[in-house]
Structure 1
């Protein structure tokens, strides 16, 4: 399992996941608790199944075959 979540993305997932988890506990919402826990797990493991299925990576590691960036060539031959 290769990491496909970058540093900033992982921090945002952990922060958002903990927020969702806390709100879910406060409002007694099992769906918010589950979604928050899932986002925290994605941030900690730095792997997102949805990004994997779409072939997208927000990781800046050069070993990843697919990146979430576009190369705009200016070659107008």
Structure 2
């Protein structure tokens, strides 16, 4: 797995992903049965993982690179 995400892009993915996780966790505390907040948490966790590993499957599929 070759890195295809640049440093600045990785930092932004981690930052926005953590913000999304915190936001969805606070919303799920108020409405635990809402599925949209759970979906947001899953998508945010995926962005954090992409930032940490510096690999994005969508960019790889499109043949792009942000380095």
> Normalised by the size of structure 2, how large is the TM-score?
0.86
- The structure carrying a bigger helix percent of its residues is 2
- Which is higher, the Rg of structure 1 or of structure 2? 1
Q: Does 1:32 align with 2:45?
A: no
User: Which of structure 1's runs of 4+ aligned residues deviate more than 6 A?
Assistant: none
Alignment deviations for residues 7-33 of structure 1 (CA, whole Å, 9 cap, x no partner): 000000000000001111011110111
Two-structure CA RMSD over aligned residues (Å): 0.5
Listed as ranges, the gaps of 5+ residues in structure 2 are 29-36
Summarize deviations over 1:25-74 as a string: whole Å, max 9, x none: 01111011101100000000000000000000001xxxxxxxxxxxxxxx
Structure 1 unaligned runs (5+)?
60-77
Higher relative contact order (CA 8 A, sep 6+): 2
